[in-house]
Structure 1
């Protein structure tokens, strides 16, 4: 594995599960290694690796929620329980990104690689996350349909380069008074259809271009990203209540400032 592939795996496998924008970090990896055109299959492999790690880590939750939703859909008397409510809230929160994203994403395609926008987004959303996480006093684990709608709408901000889908949903959840662990848990489950959709779309585009998917490099990328993802999820779930999200907000401010410095230096 080359240093470039290793850093790509590190960027995706770690930052995909942190509220810091994995796409922004992968963009900077490409900038650092002067890669203008990447292999589409690599990005498919990176997303498959993270999808597998989320699914494996939360497999019990996924099974419970799917079964609860199926039972509740056919038996009205089975709807009055926390699992069905959580499954319904996840479905509700997913809708805004799917519906609105389908229409607005094509119009944002031309700014996806804009480093200035990525830097400003990182600083702005990082500041919001740090402030809201630090000053949220009331904490609970209850998810309601109204809160799910608001969290779902917050995902739309992630369509801006450097916005971070995980960052925007966690910020919204914390603003609504939801505890750190519950905010992270809901946001991660919410990310599964998003990562799945991204993997399918990237895979289809790569296939249309005649990309070969079965090779050792791709398998190594998937495995490395999977291991990094599982490790990151384990650490975050264990320590997030103690360390909080403010530290990631501060990191994003520094990261965005670093990008601005990079822009300035490369323009000299």
Structure 2
């Protein structure tokens, strides 16, 4: 891997991680289209640590409050009645599906699931689902329930497939369940922390393995890409929360449709290899 590729992919990761357009699909497409090869699922998982660090810092007060409420609630019946205690458990419960499936399906995720035909299809299908959810969802609730955490957790697990989008899947589920756009977005950010950090740390040994084929990033390149993803990702969080409070997701729906169709066109004309 070249330094230009590492920095560009870090930038792409930071720009797309929190938008409902699939960061893994964009890293996959940009790497193949402009650099002639797949950077790999492991590299993608590791640079996601940068964007999740951005979530930790941006929501530091909220996370600290939730952790404190959770620990106190383990020993105090009164503390268990608070919304923060329940929300902390909702984050834990919602993180279980993607954690389990990520381990069980890791070989598929790193091979056949990265086929660009599959990516193009999921970009289009989940664009339609997001459009339906954004239009049909009542958006009346800001308070989460156990049903919301399970539904959005299951939706997040679909993001193991490039093109689905972790944030897109969770936002779609949240809107269908009646949450407001901002409430769904905030929970989506919190829900990502355990799963993405786990996947990133789990994938570090694979990125450092120099015996495999394909593009390989050096340790300095990996650190630099992760740092770029952090800086850009932090700015993206602030922008997205302001945006969804006043706008629908229609712009992202159209973007996904256009990107998916363009990708199908490139693959059909053999201008881009699918694997």
Q: Which residue of 1 aligns with 2:178?
A: 177
| C-alpha distance in 1 between matches for 2:97 and 2:198 | 14
Candidates 255, 258, 264, aligned match of 1:260 = 264
Residue by residue over 1:140-187, the C-alpha shift from the partner in whole angstroms, topping out at 9 and shown as x without a partner, is 111111221111122232233311111111100000010001100001
Of stretches 231-240 and 150-159 in structure 1, the one that deviates more from structure 2 is 150-159
Alignment of 1:201-212 (within 5 A): 201-209=202-210
Q: Which residue of 2 aligns with 1:135?
A: 136
Residue by residue over 1:75-95, the C-alpha shift from the partner in whole angstroms, topping out at 9 and shown as x without a partner, is 122110110011011111111
Structure 1 156/44 Cα, relative in aligned 2: closer, same or farther at 3 Å? closer
Please state how far the C-alpha of 1:213 moved relative to its aligned partner. Answer: 6.0
Structure 1 44/253 Cα, relative in aligned 2: closer, same or farther at 3 Å? closer
Unaligned runs of 5+ in 2: none
Asked if the contact 2:25–2:162 (Cα under 8 Å) also holds between the matched residues in 1, the reply is yes
Residue by residue over 1:115-162, the C-alpha shift from the partner in whole angstroms, topping out at 9 and shown as x without a partner, is 111001000001110121123234211111122111112223223331
| C-alpha distance in 2 between matches for 1:137 and 1:225 | 34
Asked if the contact 1:20–1:122 (Cα under 8 Å) also holds between the matched residues in 2, the reply is yes
Alignment of 1:149-228 (within 5 A): 149-209=150-210, 215=220, 217-228=221-232
Asked if the contact 2:121–2:260 (Cα under 8 Å) also holds between the matched residues in 1, the reply is yes
Asked if the contact 1:51–1:195 (Cα under 8 Å) also holds between the matched residues in 2, the reply is yes
Please state how far the C-alpha of 1:2 moved relative to its aligned partner. Answer: 5.0
Q: Which residue of 2 aligns with 1:229?
A: 233
| C-alpha distance in 2 between matches for 1:8 and 1:14 | 10
Structure 1 168/44 Cα, relative in aligned 2: closer, same or farther at 3 Å? closer
Asked if the contact 1:130–1:247 (Cα under 8 Å) also holds between the matched residues in 2, the reply is no
| RMSD of aligned alpha carbons | 2.4
Residue by residue over 1:41-74, the C-alpha shift from the partner in whole angstroms, topping out at 9 and shown as x without a partner, is 9646622321221111111111111110001111
Return the TM-score normalized by structure 1. Answer: 0.90
Return the TM-score normalized by structure 2. Answer: 0.88
| C-alpha distance in 2 between matches for 1:138 and 1:189 | 19
| C-alpha distance in 1 between matches for 2:115 and 2:46 | 24
Unaligned runs of 5+ in 1: none
Asked if the contact 2:32–2:38 (Cα under 8 Å) also holds between the matched residues in 1, the reply is no
Please state how far the C-alpha of 1:21 moved relative to its aligned partner. Answer: 0.7
1:144 lines up with 2:132 in the alignment: no
Asked if the contact 2:97–2:157 (Cα under 8 Å) also holds between the matched residues in 1, the reply is yes
Structure 1 108/224 Cα, relative in aligned 2: closer, same or farther at 3 Å? closer
1:243 lines up with 2:247 in the alignment: yes
